[in-house]
Amino acid sequence: MGQDDETTRKGPWTENEDFQLVFYVHMFGDRRWDFIAKVSGLKRTGKSCRLRWVNYLNPGLKRGKLAPHEERLVLELHSKYGNRWSKIARKLPGRTDNEIKNYWRTHMRKKAQEKKKTASGSPALSPSLSQCSSSSSICTSNPTATSIPMIETKERSFYDTGGVERSFYDSGATRVSDSSEEQEGYCGMDEIWKELDLLEVDSMKPFFDPYSEIAPSLPWDSCLSTSWTMDGQEEFAENTFHLTSKQFSSGFID
């Protein structure tokens, strides 16, 4: 599939690349990854672009540790669905399958170690208890067990106050979160959003609200599709937007 030649970049994304990707996703929506990869001038595969967006750049993402209620939900859903991470992730607004996968892996490993310890050591309430209470949920010995002890915690995560929800997957209802909360953990992206604001991209603003739902059906998507054929799109993008990406690298970013 073409793009895997030696010019294809791999490894960590640079700020510049992030910036470009965000811009092009806003332009074309978050579906046509191969197209975006091509026209953006990013030396990345479409897959890579998608992954970067889905797991990191998407403004609807929460960052930071899973809240206790999220942990419980993960356990519950995993017992239901198994390793269907994307399915589980859809039930956890703002969380990605990758994140949940990582979480599960880490905690299951931890649990396996604890199990070993308790199996060889005293069966009494031991170190594992403190671990359990701290996470308030990771207490089953069998990850897939259906009887997951649900420890009710009144504790509410600071995430659980109405962060951006990925309603795309769930209800379809768009929600704009309290921006102060939204800032939490968004240091890097914040800069990008700010810079986007500063750009003349303002003309696009009516179409794009970075804190609204990710736009599988961005208005300009339909606008553009009325006047563009796919071929025309490519041509137009090559001519028009590639220039913009060059401006990014040369003009807006040192």
Which among 152, 51, 57 has a CA at the least distance from the CA of 101? 51
Q: Quick one: 24 or 248, whose CB is closer to DNA?
A: 24
Q: Is residue 187 a contact residue for DNA (CB under 7 A)? A: no
Q: For residues 85 and 241, which CB has a smaller minimum distance to DNA in the complex?
A: 85
Report in angstroms how near the CB of residue 34 gets to DNA at its nearest: 3
Under rule CB under 7 A, how many of the chain's residues touch DNA?
41
- DSSP labels, 154-180: ----TTTTT----TTTTT-------HH
Q: Residue 6 or residue 200: which is nearer to DNA going by CB?
A: 6
Asked whether the beta carbons of 164 and 177 are under 8 A apart, the reply is yes
Out of 16, 79, 98, 212, which residue is the one contacting DNA (CB under 7 A)? 98
Cα dihedral 220, 45, 1, 244 in deg (nearest 10): 50
Task: Select from 230, 226, 215 the least CA-distant residue to 31.
Answer: 215
Which of 43, 80, 110, 242 binds DNA (CB under 7 A)? It is 110
Q: Is the dihedral of CA 167, 168, 169, 171 positive or negative?
A: positive
Phi, psi of 89, rounded to the nearest 5 degrees = -60, -35
Window contacting DNA (CB under 7 A); options: 27-35, 139-147, 203-211, 245-253: 27-35
In this structure, the number of other CB atoms found within 10 A of the CB of residue 253 comes to 13
Q: Of the candidates 32, 69, 78, 166, which one interacts with DNA according to CB under 7 A? A: 32
Q: Which of residues 42-81 bind DNA (CB under 7 A)?
A: 44, 46-48, 50-52, 55-56, 63-65
Which residues of this protein are in contact with DNA, per CB under 7 A? 1-2, 9-13, 31-35, 44, 46-48, 50-52, 55-56, 63-65, 83-87, 97-99, 101-103, 105-107, 109-110, 113
